[in-house]
Structure 1
Amino acid sequence: MLEFLTEFPSLGRQDLSSFKQGIDEGFRTFSRANGEAIEAFFNPLLQFLIWFEDVLTGAPWPLVILVIATLTWFGARSWKITTGAVISLLLIGIFGMWEDTMSTLAMITVATSLCVALGIPIGVLMSRSDRAQSLVTPILDVMQTIPSFVYLIPVVMLLGIGKVPGLIAVCIYAIPPIVRLTNLGIRLVDRDVMEAAEAFGASSREKLFGVQIPLALPNIFAGVNQTIMMALSMVVIASMIGVHGLGTQVLRAIGNQYLALGLMNGLAIVALAIIFDRVSQTYGKRLQAYRETGHG
């Protein structure tokens, strides 16, 4: 018995080493066989991201600020928030961070749009099926708790260094909140309201799009808010695999001990985060007020 116990650690290490080598070799084989097909699949997304970034960086800065100010006013309906957004963007331009900020803004906008487009349907599916919820919830738990550097490894092995791997990494990290809060918002819809809709003969589709989703919008926008915040928090890490923007400058400042460069670009990321946060939160509160009072 004692001999078995002394031999067990070495046997376990050998088996574990063989297991790891098998995983590594299998993934290398898969990436070599399917890497080009996967790259071709994501190529339209890459082209759109490049085009959108070129639009933001190439457009005259007064026009970009005007568009952002208009969208901020539409979302927040607050002169304070709109003025703060304009001042922040002007300071970003004055301190020479405009192009990097626009690159980061393009990445965050596309990543958030993808998360919303994928996350809301998954959240709806979870809300309509307890089995789907039990299957998806552990996956979301893993996505939120696993260190981001871990899932960067297979993404980089498959797609190399560049914008698309960074975008995928950002989406993996940022999508769980929109899924969870969409599911929660729909499940929290009052049963009496659903029974009333059934009494009026509403179909399943009509109940979903006419009752459940509209009443769940405040929760859904809270999920959008959290998704944006988590996407912005991934900016620096994504810069390590070739995503240009403010994160690249922060990474450069860390490597070269440039305090001023790191601080300024970090504050630019904070400014973007505050703008997105205030606009999405205020818009969510307006939706909540609309739901409670029945008028805008």
Structure 2
Amino acid sequence: MDVRIPFGSWVESGLDWIEHNLEWLFDLLAAVYVALYDAVVWVVGTPPAIVVITVLALLALAVRGWRFGLGTALGLLFIVGVDQWDNAMETLALVVVAAFLAIVVAVPLGIWAARSDRVSAVIKPVMDFLQTMPAFVYLIPAIGLFGIGVAPGIFATVLFALAPGVRLTELGIRGVDREVVEAGQAFGSTPGRILRQIQLPLAMPSIMAGVNQVIMLSLSMVVIAGMVGAGGLGGDVTKSLSALDTALGFEAGLSVVILAIILDRFTGAFGTKRGLHLFRRLRARGTSDAAATAASSPGASSPTADREAVAA
């Protein structure tokens, strides 16, 4: 007996229902996506290429030293030399918008999952599903809901890049030493204050690793999104594949590699330097605030509190 489960038909019917009943929502999302994309393209595409290259090279010099600054400048000059600058800036805008939206969703979800075992139990299988789904499959509902253009590319990229941000944020928050959290609770800190001044600074390396992975996955997906009219370097990669144009394919592909290396090094530098600086600053402020609270509490003095008050 040959029995076939019509799972694909169920999914198709569900997508048709969403398309007909929530069309206003996806029109709104498309408008937001396109507006954000146009704004970033205007910022990075309006100035002359040499101005953008100079600014990025100086930023690279500041965060990682002269080697990274020189490498950034040479890599971007190569992109200009192969006439892929405009496409590279469009791809950069797609990555920035998609990664920003994914991080805005991923970090709060990761924090929520870290603070609730029930939420974590629900989110984990969803993240497993999103992370293991083949990248091309995301383009199917994206085209049905948004049509052809930038919006479906951003939508598919956000879904594809979301999982590592959620996972590594949850891992970082759960990995904070419980004794440090209990010390903050002993000083009367609220859960929100403990999150801001203890857990987030200590979890910053893990969170930044998640941000780095979100950006890398976004870059890989926006290239695939060139198949649905997202443009940028992905459009040229798709064109070279359909026309068997080896020269165009290698020029666009190497430009993608250069952007990936630059973005990877930038996020890595932010995680190691800026994150540690933020942690030290917040920890110093939190220690002084806790000492002041302990010193001002009537009848609640203890040797530890007295030492903190004297140190402050």
TM superposition score normalised by structure 2: 0.84
Distance 2:243 2:208 in 1: 39
> Could you say which residue in structure 1 is the equivalent of 2:221?
234
Q: Which amino acid aligns with 2:18?
A: F
CA apart distance, 1:66? 2.7
TM superposition score normalised by structure 1: 0.88
CA apart distance, 1:65? 1.6
> Could you say which residue in structure 1 is the equivalent of 2:193?
206
Describe how 1:38-187 pairs up with structure 2 within 5 A: 38-74=26-62, 76-187=63-174
Q: Which runs of 4+ in 1 moved over 4 A?
A: 287-292
C-alpha contact 2:57 2:73 (8 A) present in aligned 1: yes
- Which one is further off, 50-59 or 257-266? 50-59
Cα 1:286–1:21 shift into 2, 3 Å: closer
Unpaired runs of 5+ residues, structure 2, are 285-312
Distance 1:245 1:47 in 2: 17
Aligned residues: 282
- Which one is further off, 196-205 or 65-74? 65-74
Distance 2:206 2:73 in 1: 28
Q: Which amino acid aligns with 1:104?
A: T
> Could you say which residue in structure 1 is the equivalent of 2:204?
217
- Which one is further off, 54-63 or 159-168? 54-63
- Which one is further off, 40-49 or 270-279? 40-49
- Which one is further off, 254-263 or 276-285? 276-285
CA apart distance, 1:22? 4.9
Distance 2:122 2:17 in 1: 29
Q: Which amino acid aligns with 1:166?
A: G
> Could you say which residue in structure 2 is the equivalent of 1:4?
none
Q: Provide the alpha-carbon RMSD of the alignment.
A: 2.1
Residue among 256, 269, 283 paired with 2:256: 269
CA apart distance, 1:289? 5.8
CA apart distance, 1:37? 4.0
| Alignment pair present for 1:245 and 2:235 | no
Cα 1:205–1:30 shift into 2, 3 Å: closer
Distance 1:239 1:109 in 2: 16
Cα 1:98–1:288 shift into 2, 3 Å: closer
Distance 2:276 2:29 in 1: 42
SS of the residue corresponding to residue 176 of structure 2 reads coil
Distance 1:276 1:288 in 2: 17
Distance 1:287 1:64 in 2: 23
Distance 1:254 1:280 in 2: 31
CA apart distance, 1:36? 4.2
Cα shift readout 1:18-73 (whole Å, capped 9, x = no counterpart): x6445434432431343244213431231221232133222211221233234334
Cα 1:250–1:37 shift into 2, 3 Å: same
- Which one is further off, 33-42 or 239-248? 33-42
Distance 2:96 2:10 in 1: 39
> Could you say which residue in structure 1 is the equivalent of 2:304?
none
Q: Which amino acid aligns with 1:64?
A: V
Distance 2:34 2:250 in 1: 30
Unpaired runs of 5+ residues, structure 1, are 1-7
Distance 1:32 1:249 in 2: 33
C-alpha contact 2:90 2:231 (8 A) present in aligned 1: yes
Cα 1:201–1:49 shift into 2, 3 Å: same
Distance 1:171 1:163 in 2: 12
Distance 1:80 1:67 in 2: 15
